[in-house]
Amino acid sequence: MTTKTALDRGRQAAPQLYELLRQKIISLELAPGTVLSRAELAVEFDVSQTPVREALLKLAEEKLVDVFPQASTRVSLIDVAFARETHFLRRSLESEIVRELALSHQPQLIGTLTDLLRQQETARDTENFAAFTHADMAFHLALYQAASKEPLWYLVRSRSGHIDRLRRLHLPVVGKQDRIISDHSRILDAIRRLDPEGAQQALRDHLSGTLEYMNQIQADHPHLFKAE
């Protein structure tokens, strides 16, 4: 019997379904290649198939699911080429953002980033990957917000599903969480010291971390990747 998941009946169902399914895909709870049944999802979330279809179409726009008409809908395999494109976009944007922030003086941002670093340390120490990832994303979102570039965060997010899944595969590797925390500390320190070049270098080093191990991640999980 399918377990039902309660939605907030005061809000539209489709956006909630989209966020819930997206999170399950990014966290790999729904692994690449998993078949998604509209009927089963409608039963699980106690809704009609219309909001399910809308949520799946939005996920398809982000290339997180593949829809085969009259056949099936599947969680997409990880597309390395698409992940590299997104990495280029994010690195270009965030490099300029941290430079801009390091040329300004924002004590509130320093406090926010410091708190998020503490959250990451706690999540690492308690082996809570979900909380670690949430704090990681919040750290970067705070940079966009402080630079008044929040809409660009959502642009990057709409393309980041494939590289986010790569990071999730890499996260349990010994030392990976320590490196992320160290990188974030370097970014924070450079912004605090008003060092734009240092902030940019720390940001570039940080975002290159997972791609450096791309071949090994693929070798360890070949069935999760789209053939190149």
Identify the pLDDT of residue 209: 79
In this model, does residue 132 exceed pLDDT 80? yes
Of 1-5, 7-11, 75-79, 84-88, give the lowest mean pLDDT range.
1-5
In this model, does residue 226 exceed pLDDT 70? yes
Condensed to tens digits (0 to 9), the pLDDT of residues 171-211 reads 999 999 999 999 999 999 999 999 999 999 999 999 987 88
Give the chain's domains with CATH numbers: 13-75 (1.10.10.10), 80-224 (1.20.120.530)
Q: Are 4 and 40 in contact (CB under 8 A)?
A: no
Kindly state the percentage of the chain with pLDDT values over 70.
98
Which residue type does 152 have?
Answer: L
When pLDDT is averaged across residues 46-54 and rounded to a whole number, the result is 93
CA distance 204 to 199: 9
pLDDT tier for residue 1 given thresholds of 50, 70 and 90: very low
Q: What is the mean pLDDT of the chain?
A: 93
Identify the pLDDT of residue 2: 53
In this model, does residue 220 exceed pLDDT 50? yes
Q: Report phi then psi at 13, rounded to 5.
A: -75, -40
Alpha carbon separation from 222 to 25, 171, 192, 228 (Å, rounded) = 17, 17, 42, 11
Q: Are 221 and 165 in contact (CB under 8 A)?
A: no
Nearest to 32 by CA among 77, 81, 82, 80: 77
